[in-house]
Structure 1
């Protein structure tokens, strides 16, 4: 879990600086997850194929759902919700969290995002109307909060 948090934080830094997330980050997240499951399975002496398969399926579903939602919002309302890098980071990190903790991380991220936008809107309404922000830094905070909570429990 710690390595996944570091990778998500690296992606957040890159997104904050460049508004782009390299395909490297989600790919490394997925590889680290598979290696982690295989090492854990080797230690306990039983390969957790079902666990691996369920997480891969749920991550794929997260990816497809976010992609469909983004395409729908872009076509219907002409607004971009997520970029491709955001979607890939969220889907890849869901391998580590699972669905329920992922939803909590997204709620935290969206709450921070809306709060940040509210502060900008309070200062300058005109700027806020056309404002866009990289999402992965907000998601990284939500991911960190949920990851740390899971590590402590």
Structure 2
């Protein structure tokens, strides 16, 4: 993890060997990052709103990492950083196919993660890498 302070906390976590990274490990890193931000830069005392934001971030983190493994051919990079009062999560995988939200009635478990991420995030984006080199899924979540 490297620190660079500009307008608030800009801690950037780039995990060099993301292939073995699991959702629980990524969640722990995001929890540490958000807790550090709250301790150092939150404008008001951290309370229930922060706890909700943290749970939203951990849900998004789990979905990004799990979906990269399950549907994207494996996670190749995970990054999390704070920009002002926004948490930015990025997950790269090997598949150029974008995540999809379910349509219609589903039978059986699963398939609702991307829709949940879109609900808790202020912005989501998918950037397909040239030459079939996979994609980057980016999610922005409010901290304040």
Say yes or no: TM over 0.5: no
Q: TM-score, structure 2 length as denominator?
A: 0.41
Q: TM-score, structure 1 length as denominator?
A: 0.39
Give the number of the structure whose alpha-carbon radius of gyration is greater: 1
| Bigger relative CO (Cα 8 Å, ≥ 6 apart) | 1
Greater fraction strand: 2
